[in-house]
Amino acid sequence: MTWDPLHATLPAMPHITNTFTISTSGKALVEFTGEVAQWVAATGIETGLVTLFCRHTSASLLINENAAPAVKRDILRWLEKVAPEGPQYEHDDEGPDDMPAHIRTLLTGESLQIPVSNGRMMLGTWQGIYLAEHRAMPHRRQVAAHISGE
C-alpha cells in the first residue's frame, strides 16, 4: 500500500491562541519568557510550534540572552545609534521618536516561532523572549500567541 499525500486524512491538530498584554515604561526590553512558558505548559501540547506576533508598529519581539543585564543595555544603545531620533525624518506624527521606532521594529521584527518539545519551548539555556519597546512613553502592548501541535 502506498501513501497518497493528496488524499490522506490526517488527524486534526489543536490550535490554541492567547494574547499577552505587556505594560512598558518607555524604551526597554521587557522579558516575558515565563508568561509564555506557563501558557505553553497549560495548553497540554507536548510537541508543536509557538508563534508570537507583536500587534504594533513601534514595538517588536526578539530572542536574546537573558542572563547579563548589559546585553539589554547594549542592544538598546545599538538601536539608538542605528535609528537615532532627529529632524531627518518626514514622518513624526506622534513625536520625534515615532519614525525611529518604526525603523527599530523593522530591524528587530514583529514575530517569533519557537519549537515545543516535551511540553516546553526549545529555547537555549540563556535565551529569553523580549518585547522591545521603541517609544519613550509608557504603553500597553499586545502580543498575539498561537500554538499548534499534539
Residue holding cell 519614525? 99
Each of the 150 residues of the chain gets a pLDDT tens digit; together they read: 566 777 777 778 999 999 999 999 999 999 999 999 999 999 999 999 999 999 999 999 999 999 999 999 999 999 999 999 999 999 999 999 999 999 999 999 999 999 999 999 999 999 999 999 999 999 999 999 999 999
Q: The domain containing residue 85 runs over which residues?
A: 23-149
Task: Identify whether 95 is part of a domain.
Answer: yes
Task: Identify whether 145 is part of a domain.
Answer: yes
Domain count, the chain: 1
Distance from C-alpha of 95 to C-alpha of 17, rounded to nearest angstrom: 34
CB 46 within 8 A of CB 93: no
Q: Which of the 8 DSSP states describes residue 110?
A: S
Distance from C-alpha of 149 to C-alpha of 121, rounded to nearest angstrom: 12
Q: Residue 32 maps to which CATH number?
A: 2.60.120.460
User: For the whole model, what pTM was predicted?
Assistant: 0.92
In 3D space, the residue among 146, 69, 74, 72 whose CA is nearest the CA of residue 111 turns out to be 146
Distances (CA, A) of 51 to 57, 69, 103, 117, 124: 18, 26, 22, 14, 17
